[in-house]
Each structure stands twice: as C-alpha cells, then as structure tokens.
Amino acid sequence: EVHLLESGGGLVQPGGSLRLSCAASAFTFSNYAMSWVRQAPGKGLEWVSALSSSGGATYYAESVKGRFTISRDNSKSLLYLQMNSLRVEDTATYYCAKASLSSSWYISFDYWGQGTLVTVSP
Amino acid sequence: QSALTQPPSASGSPGQSVTISCSGTSSDVGAYDYVSWYQHHPVKAPKLMIFEVSKRPSGVPNRFSGSKSGNTASLTVSGLQADDEADYYCSSYAGNNNLVFGGGTKLTVL
C-alpha cells in the first residue's frame, strides 16, 4: 500500500525557516510528480507547490513563490519543502500528495499523507 | 477566499442522494476537464474520489459520481451512508501551472 509520511512541522517565529520532509513508500517514487498542499485552520485546501518526477521542473503558488523551495531525492524516495521568510498566514497543516499520472502533476492526487502542522507565531 | 466556490454544508438522510456544487470560471472549471473531488475525514489523509470530472479511481463505490456543466462541476453521492460524512473538496487545473481548490463542503448524514 502506498504510504506518504510527512515530518518537520513545528512552531516557528515570523521570518523564520523550516524544512518539511515526506517519506514515500510502496511505489516507484522517481516515476511520479509530487506536490505539497496545505490547509490553514478552519480553511480549505490550498495547493502550494509541485515538482516533476525528475526534479527538473518546479511550480509554485503565487503566495509562496520566492520563499518556498520544493525538492526531492529520488534515491531515498524523499520529498522536501524548504520554507523561508515564514509568515503568520503560512500556519497550516501541510500535506504531501502523489500525482495520479506519471505524465502530469495537476490531473489529480491519488495518495496523500496525513500532514504535518506548521505554526508561525511570535 | 478560495478560488472555487462550494456550499459550506450539505446534508441528507441515509439512502438519499446529495449533490455538491463547485463553481469556478471559464479559466479553470470551464476551461479544462481536470476537475477532481477529494473526501477528507478529520485527522485522516484526503482521499481521491473523482478525477477528470467523472472518472472513479478503483475502489471508490459507484455511488459517487461527477459531472460538469459550463463553469460548474458537481459531485453526487447516492445511497448515502454514515461513513460518507466528511468534508469534500473540489479542485481544478487553472492553466499556467496553477491548481485551485474549493473551500470545502461539510457533508452531514442525518
């Protein structure tokens, strides 16, 4: 069974940094694009960033462009999200999600992790 | 404010059908057949229920169906069961490598 496990969340002050990780298992990680999606408390889902299967192409929501960096290590089946210049409004549960198709990252996400909570507060 | 508009709540009795709408624009829902629906039980991982407007992943009951008309997509849950009670989110590709979600609909089984 495909499994995605996020880690690295926690409490950080505004302006600080945090790196999230997502460990993937039970599928050929290097064949699929991956994404990060977040959910602020009491709010809906928001796509944050996506990364092609090779890691050569990255995509970001306007709200995080220039502050967040997505990357992956296909040899270790790991996905990362480096978050810099964090703001209070970045407070959310962050989910990693696997693309359903190997050909495109945006069609749908067929597996998600259970999320890791990031709290940005003074 | 979410890019796609969903009703905050929907409800139905066991065995009944309920439809949840997802309203977008001609730049997202109306432009692409890349609408997905996700079921999210609290404290669990979201689950893909519908992709490409109306396709069901293997393992999803055929009680769940999707459709689209113009700029509005819909998810219909037939034969409501207690376990269907969850939050449901729609998403759509919006072009220019951007993906948008709806604000979510809390489905209550009465």
Q: Residue B53: enclosing H or E segment and its boundaries?
A: none
B68 has which bridge partners? Answer: B73
* pLDDT category of residue A36 using cuts at 50, 70 and 90: very high
Q: Is the pLDDT of residue B1 over 80?
A: no
Rounded CA separation B38/B46 (Å): 6
What is d(CA A24, CA A99) in angstroms, rounded to the nearest whole number? Answer: 12
Structure tokens at B85: 């009670």
Distance, in angstroms, between A65 CA and closest chain B CA? Answer: 12
CB–CB of B68/B26 below 8 Å?
Answer: no
Distance CA B84, CA B64 (A): 10
Best B88, B96, B99, B101 residue to mutate vs chain A (most A CBs within 10 Å): B99
Does residue B2 carry a pLDDT above 80?
no
B3 confidence band (pLDDT: 50, 70, 90): confident
**Predicted local distance difference test score (pLDDT) of residue A29:** 96
B22 min Cα distance to partner chain A (Å):
13
The SS3 call for residue A31 is helix
pLDDT tens sequence across B49-95: 999 999 999 999 999 999 999 999 999 999 999 999 999 999 999 99
Q: For residue A20, give Cα distances in angstroms to A37, A84, A94, B107.
A: 12, 11, 8, 31
pLDDT at B43 over 90: no
CA dihedral B56, B14, B23, B53 (to 10 degrees): 10
Note the pLDDT tens digit of each residue in A59-115: 999 999 999 999 999 999 999 999 999 999 999 999 999 999 877 899 899 999 999
Return the residue of A nearest to B51 by Cα: A108
Write down the pLDDT at residue A102.
Answer: 78
**Cα distances (angstroms) measured from residue B72 to each of A45, B9, B61:** 18, 17, 23
Q: Edge-to-edge strand order for the sheet containing A68-73?
A: A3-7, A18-25, A78-83, A68-73
